[in-house]
Structure 1
């Protein structure tokens, strides 16, 4: 007898991020099925796994992780990230996360990891040394040449955070944040933080508030 697919809810602040991930997983619909996509709304359906994409929702947001872990509609919660600072992994485990998976995983490997989580294992990806994000994912500013990490920094700045706050939330050094910001300014053609924030507002870097139910014919 064929096993039913694992029901997944995708959670992030940005539609472009969650829909890109949903499209990446669509080729494995017989194994994982997107039940709903939530951007700044609580999980509504009963699902096997919540896949929490951390783009501009840093892993250090303990309250967000706790809310997801305590939601009775979600059997398990998995963090999906590029940031593997040991303190972040430990904190996620303390909040009840069942997985901590890398955005560098090819789609097939991501599905296998989700299946392992569904079977009751706690899965933590090996840290990839500066590898590229998996093909198929998307983020604001990608078309303008921003990397996912640069885009995340710009999103946090657009939300009004200082360099120190961005560094603290992402567990990156202040000098690394400054380096990202210089690269961002160059790529989007601005010369100041105010101009960068305005550009971010105009190009989809403010959080969305949507729920997509029954993704592509899902439950």
Structure 2
């Protein structure tokens, strides 16, 4: 149940399990942050204060199309990613993002960051380095895939080559190959075509859906 002054948030990603996972993560703080819309592959429809863009399987940094995300609204954009490279963060902010949040944050820290964004602040990661503990959900998690392995599988399922995956995820080509090898073992597949088939069967195919919650009736209802 959202509070009367809760910040209105839309969670955006091309995977339903990802947006649902993020929404569930911050749901205990509904008196402060109300997730009013979940979007996979479609523009935000509701009038919201902040759009939380999860980069799982998506473009990152300055590749994010902020204009398409805000869809002509005044919403601020917070990018939610495990990849917090300083140059990537800088380029995203230069393009107009209001925040770049690490997936290593606790639910409370995410809520506090969204409140700061709503107040007009710019929020960036506190420190450098890779994030190993990732918040939220992702396809393949129940099969033992880590968030990074799952993202590589998602990009394979989308038809990207190893080099394209490296470019999209800002990983080295050797890191991509390592994630592929470890993911394949967990998936029980031995080829790219088998991996694509496994991905399609296990929630790695992107979809276009929108879920608008009752709280999205408009700012006059806050």
TM-score range, shorter chain: over 0.9
Return the offset for 1:61.
6.4
Task: Indicate the residue corresponding to 1:173 in structure 2.
Answer: 172
Task: Indicate the residue corresponding to 2:210 in structure 1.
Answer: 211
Contact 2:13-2:58 within 8 A present in 1 as well: yes
Task: Indicate the residue corresponding to 1:65 in structure 2.
Answer: 66
Residues 43-98 of structure 1 show CA distances to partners (whole Å, capped at 9, x for unaligned) of: 111110000001001314625334225x3324200100000122311221121000
What pairs up with 1:19-38 in 2 under 5 angstroms? 19-38=20-39
**CA distance 1:20–1:74, change in 2 (3 Å):** farther
Contact 2:99-2:124 within 8 A present in 1 as well: yes
Task: Indicate the residue corresponding to 1:117 in structure 2.
Answer: 117
Counterpart-to-counterpart distance in 1, 2:62 and 2:158? 15
Counterpart-to-counterpart distance in 1, 2:202 and 2:96? 35
Task: Indicate the residue corresponding to 1:8 in structure 2.
Answer: 9
- SS of residue paired to 2:75: strand
Task: Indicate the residue corresponding to 1:49 in structure 2.
Answer: 50
Q: Is 2:105 aligned against 1:105?
A: yes
Contact 2:62-2:92 within 8 A present in 1 as well: no
Task: Indicate the residue corresponding to 1:77 in structure 2.
Answer: 77
What pairs up with 1:111-150 in 2 under 5 angstroms? 111-126=111-126, 127=128, 129-134=130-135, 137-150=136-149
Counterpart-to-counterpart distance in 2, 1:73 and 1:212? 18
Structure 1: give runs of 5+ residues left out of the alignment.
none
Counterpart-to-counterpart distance in 2, 1:65 and 1:150? 26
Compute the TM-score of the two structures, normalised by the length of structure 1: 0.92
Paired residues in the alignment total 213
Residues 5-61 of structure 1 show CA distances to partners (whole Å, capped at 9, x for unaligned) of: 000001000000001111111100000001111100101111100000010013146
Contact 1:8-1:47 within 8 A present in 2 as well: yes
Compute the TM-score of the two structures, normalised by the length of structure 2: 0.91
Counterpart-to-counterpart distance in 2, 1:38 and 1:55? 13
Counterpart-to-counterpart distance in 2, 1:173 and 1:153? 12
Task: Indicate the residue corresponding to 1:163 in structure 2.
Answer: 162
- SS of residue paired to 2:197: helix
Contact 1:78-1:99 within 8 A present in 2 as well: yes
Structure 2: give runs of 5+ residues left out of the alignment.
217-222
> How big is the alpha-carbon RMSD for the aligned residues of Structure 1 and Structure 2?
1.6
